[in-house]
Structure 1
């Protein structure tokens, strides 16, 4: 398949530029810095100045990015045939890390085929099979929390969600292998934006820190390929994601490896951050904490899930998702040329008071009422044919971890002032790491 060329400095003519949505005239590098480091304030300012649809320019090649913030426009983006809206092409910066077969990097029939093979491992019966394993890992972890002493809960959540990936997704339970994998995988998931530049400039892979990252990745790959080989010969009675994938489809070793690394990178930091924001809010809302503890005691998974959903609404972990259009399309009243990058601004939708009354307040009850949020206004997992395949797994994992913590502890903030969001790679995390004090109930 021939890649769709980016619409940017080399391919955008003046006449077409005049038909694009309005946007800032700042230099591309300045806009890129604002987008990368300050998108939670940059996007609202652009919307206030230019309206619900605006254009920004980002590296490389001063590419044209049209940002959408109305649910109806984003719904059109998500429901446009995926052959027209390529998500994989928009994520190519991740190729050196996730691999060419990653579900996030492929389009059209390749994507449909891979998604069909992945789905059985993330549906109802399979998810219910993971709950016990996740709950056991969560309970074991929270028992070791410091009591009465400040600590950064985001770090603990990252350690715990990494353990879930290693044992529940990869299916690694051997203590020696886990001890070797943990520090290696921690380096892999700590990928920084500068590392991802190699997706645009492959020649960087010859130099440090890119070469060092690849060396770590190579050792992780060796272990994963060994696990895959073992599982192909002995997969009986196992309930982890890798085993279910092997049972559900025909995979090459490379395809499996790329999906496992994708699940690691897409599902580790995001889930940990969503949980950190949930506890950040519960620690500052005594009545919400009490209601959450009562739900945990009673096995009320619906309310525990609503807590996660509201945390993900109020504090979007991923602020936007993108597509690259493969042909000229009409979106939000504009005719956008082939090669345009379109971004759905999740954070703007979630913070819009037209979609959520008192949008700045933490109210899990929004998702429990007879009048829940309108369709298309809660989109942390994207939408359409590219909606995150691990959405159900994430909500299940968060529910089990919330239960394990809330049945054991009260959680208090070290500083009652809210923590701001700061960028960490592609996510927005609590600025102080969600500092809390846990006390035994």
Structure 2
């Protein structure tokens, strides 16, 4: 859902579409129940003389396990009756295209985003929705899922900011007055299970620290708008079961980095609408398992829309194998992205293959056809799926020089100069600096 919203916002920025927002009041009360469900009489509304009786629910209410599904089915039926088509690959995205007029609708629980190229067309959709449900018109979108949207229509840019969330997070973990850090993860530092608490006193001391809560808060920020902390958050999340002081220090470094970069925003705004992918891997840098880390990022309209940094599921025997595994995972993401964008019908050239850049010649060659049987015969079969994806022409895996690769921040620690140089390519920058 998050990547779908980022993709649609990126497209809307490129075409200068309208981006409106609506809210459904008491959304979960809109559907009749299919099941027979009973509840105790509500406090204050008990019928005298019938205290032993229970109430049978006629409609869905908040708190039922099926409430969200019932509401979603009710909305789906209604919006399709108005002529919208549901996206097969992202069920919460709907489209309606008629004689050059385009309208996209994104439903997230009870929040609705309306995106389109014709004010009158979108106004009609809003008016119809108001006849079906109790709606609150929020006008042009200022916030979506807690993310601030800062739009410059004159220069055709749109920025996503979580500065307010970062401020609250820093206060929550008493880091609002801390020093600022240049990097989310110190260059050359390695964490391991050897740094976990060993004595009962050390374990008791760490229980007082909100380690899991802090990592979860950082993950929320990373998933929404901050690909620059993806690798660092992935590393510290490996020690949730028994974190030590060194692990907690690494978490605080991420918070210090966010304090310095609170005004960094994920910005969309370019001269072309071409989806481009990049993939990378380190080699056996996890000191505990000797597994490698896969990294990938996809950009659209000069900003990142999808990113990953994930420890691989098996131990790679060579850098080629690690890069090949990473490329396969990225290629699977391409399959979804290509289908999703093709169904939107507004992104050009989606009948052509998506370019996926990789800096390892062996991985590029093996993605096209089997090479060097002796060194690669042991690779798990599931990773050879990339060859089928390449043969279907969903993706073209292309060699790129290391200096032009923007996935390094997702797989390894970097010096401050090199790290900062990659952020502009990801679309991350401080919009307040002119």
Note whether the superposition's TM-score is higher than 0.5: no
More strand by share: 2
* Larger relative contact order (CA 8 Å, sep ≥ 6): 1
TM-score range, shorter chain: under 0.3
Structure with greater Cα Rg: 2
TM-score of the superposition, structure 1-length normalised?
Answer: 0.26
More helix by share: 1
TM-score of the superposition, structure 2-length normalised?
Answer: 0.26
